[in-house]
Amino acid sequence: MTESRRGRPRTFDRDEALAKAVRLFWDRGYEATSVSDLTEAMNIRPASLYAAFGDKKSLFKEAVVAYQRAAPATFAKIALREERTARGAFARILREAAEAYTDPSHPAGCLIIRSATNVNPRDADIEAFLRDIRNANVAVFTARLDEAVRAGELPDSVDTRALARYFGAALQGLSQQAADGATAADLRPVAELAIGVWPAPPEAP
Amino acid sequence: MTESRRGRPRTFDRDEALAKAVRLFWDRGYEATSVSDLTEAMNIRPASLYAAFGDKKSLFKEAVVAYQRAAPATFAKIALREERTARGAFARILREAAEAYTDPSHPAGCLIIRSATNVNPRDADIEAFLRDIRNANVAVFTARLDEAVRAGELPDSVDTRALARYFGAALQGLSQQAADGATAADLRPVAELAIGVWPAPPEAP
DNA sequence: TCCTTTGTTGAGTGATTGCTCAAAAAATAC
DNA sequence: GTATTTTTTGAGCAATCACTCAACAAAGGA
């Protein structure tokens, strides 16, 4: 699998450079991050960037994938996997979002929520790329809530699509608040309030 | 007051041109709207734009003020003024946001929430300008909730700042969902869920 | 050794950005 | 009429945008 590579070896660590790009895109978004900002932060020349990552759009998409695999963005997936009940999963997601989105060791909020809003029409495909991820996340939420209905955790009468969209909107609101400067202390009670909408369990038969 | 103006009169309607600018900024945001986009939509030449509105930043700020005075953005202020109870006011704000943010006769979501995220560092003052408006809105919400506590509509134990931030975040989530393509039918039940966090009234003495 | 392959370097591409200027045009003041 | 004031026009400014290319450098294969 790891065939010996011919030609001159790369002088920089590709993953390390990609991590720098994630940082910049997370902080400034797609449009406001220029290629020269990127080459400066990654400490490589433009031609090396293009040789290693294709064009700016490809680099951004790869940065999004790297972001999704990194620790601060995986909390939702982990909560859905580990928590036994849907209520437990969504409560944990909101509580951990309040922490993760305000962690001062990295840019505020969620890269996928923040970084490709208001882009130039010529980059509409980038906007669509992130919108599709966001909508896919709402679909995952809906599936988990449907499962909870089947398991008897939620009554049949619950509109799972609406509830899933509500949680998606709550996360987006938390992300925006964090980007506007809210701290973890500010957002913790907001997350608790958001959890409060959870429907009453089915009546015992 | 209307002193006779000397010099060559303007060949375009300033308010009409400003309305076109509002439309464009609302749709694309500050960065992604170029001056040549603006001059084309307003049907004026660059020098006329600069003579009438100053620079791009001044035009944007004026567009934000015009937006805030126009019908689709005033629903919150009107609800706070007209509704007798705080609960009635916030319920109405969320319900009307679901409608206003998805009205197909204008761009989706809220201009003040959408249009200056991820801007270039050199335009950080524009980002701060909108952030201040958003934070001021949360302050207005807090004041209304404090009033409700004093009036006995809400118990003393309620964290009004957290509740105000929650409603701000809910509106931001609705705006983002609308920008991602959600319809009024999609957002109505989300608004109803969001209203559901309203705290129980104080116990009768 | 020489060839092939891959990467780096530094200069530079055309396009677009926000913005400006001199000259002409259209109004009022005298 | 002439002078003054303001706006429009069309051309064009420097800076930045994403991106590319020819020359050179450093590795493996034969």
Tokens encoding A203: 């009546």
Q: Identify the DSSP state of B84.
A: S
> Contact B181/A120, CB-based, under 8 Å?
no
d(CA A57, CA A181) in angstroms, rounded, equals 28
> Contact A169/B173, CB-based, under 8 Å?
yes
Identify whether the C-beta of residue B143 lies closer than 8 Å to the C-beta of residue B75: no
Local structure of A107: helix, strand or coil: coil
How far is CA A26 from each of CA A116, A178, B97, B112, rounded to the nearest angstrom? 10, 13, 28, 21
Name the residue closest to D28, CA to C1'.
Answer: A6
> Contact A194/B197, CB-based, under 8 Å?
yes
A7-16 long-range CB contacts below 8 Å, 24 or more apart? A10/A48, A10/A52, A12/A42, A12/A43, A12/A44, A12/A48, A14/A52, A15/A66
Q: Which of B28, B119, B171 sits opposite A32 (nearest CB)?
A: B119
> What pLDDT score was predicted for residue B105?
97
Q: Which of A30, A131, A194 sits opposite B180 (nearest CB)?
A: A131
d(CA B179, CA A54) in angstroms, rounded, equals 29
Residues of A in contact with B179 (CB under 8 A): 117
Residues of A in contact with B186 (CB under 8 A): 162, 165
Q: Which among B82, B79, B109 has a CA at the least distance from the CA of B91?
A: B79
- Whose tokens are 């204008």? That residue is B106
Q: What is the mean pLDDT of each run of 10 residues along chain A (205 residues)?
A: 73 97 96 96 97 97 96 92 98 98 97 88 93 96 98 97 98 97 98 95 74
**Amino acid letter at A175?**
S
Tokens encoding A13: 């660590």
The mean per-residue pLDDT over the stretch B80-94 comes to: 98
- Whose tokens are 């116990």? That residue is B203
> What pLDDT score was predicted for residue A79?
97
Q: Which of A114, A121, A194 sits opposite B117 (nearest CB)?
A: A114
Bases on strand C under 7 Å from any protein CB: 4-12, 16-22, 25-29
Tokens encoding A55: 């064009």
Chain B contact residues (CB < 8 Å to A): 28-32, 113-121, 131, 134-135, 159, 162-163, 165-166, 168-174, 176-177, 179-182, 186-187, 189-190, 193-194, 196-197
Mean pLDDT of chain A: 94
> What pLDDT score was predicted for residue B2?
40
What predicted TM-score, i.e. pTM, was given to this entire model?
0.94
> Contact A169/B181, CB-based, under 8 Å?
no
Query: Cα–Cα–Cα angle for A131, A135, A136, nearest 5°?
Result: 115
The yes-or-no verdict on residue B15 having pLDDT over 90 is yes
Residues whose CB falls within 8 Å of the CB of residue B51, separated by 6 or more in sequence, listed in order: none
B1 pLDDT band, cuts 50/70/90, is: very low
d(CA A193, CA B153) in angstroms, rounded, equals 18
Identify whether the C-beta of residue B193 lies closer than 8 Å to the C-beta of residue B117: no
Q: Which among A162, A165, A110 has a CA at the least distance from the CA of A137?
A: A165
d(CA A152, CA A203) in angstroms, rounded, equals 10
Percent of chain B whose predicted confidence (pLDDT) is above 90: 88
pLDDT digits (tens, 9 = 90+) for B159-182: 999 999 999 999 999 999 999 999
Question: What is the nearest nucleotide to B6, using C1' and CA?
Answer: C28
Bases on strand D under 7 Å from any protein CB: 4-12, 16-22, 25-29
> Contact A117/B29, CB-based, under 8 Å?
yes
Residues of A in contact with B162 (CB under 8 A): 186, 189-190, 193
d(CA B73, CA B70) in angstroms, rounded, equals 6
* DSSP assignment string, B7-41: SSPPSS-HHHHHHHHHHHHHHH-TTTS-HHHHHHH
Residues whose CB falls within 8 Å of the CB of residue A187, separated by 6 or more in sequence, listed in order: A97, A98, A101, A102, A174, A177, A178, B165
pLDDT digits (tens, 9 = 90+) for A136-146: 999 999 999 99
d(CA B190, CA A124) in angstroms, rounded, equals 27
Mean pLDDT of chain B: 94
Identify whether the C-beta of residue A82 lies closer than 8 Å to the C-beta of residue B144: no
- Whose tokens are 């979002």? That residue is A97
Residues of B in contact with A171 (CB under 8 A): 173
Residues of A in contact with B181 (CB under 8 A): 131, 135
pLDDT digits (tens, 9 = 90+) for B107-144: 999 999 998 787 888 899 999 999 999 999 999 999 99
> What pLDDT score was predicted for residue A2?
42
Query: Cα–Cα–Cα angle for B89, B93, B95, nearest 5°?
Result: 115
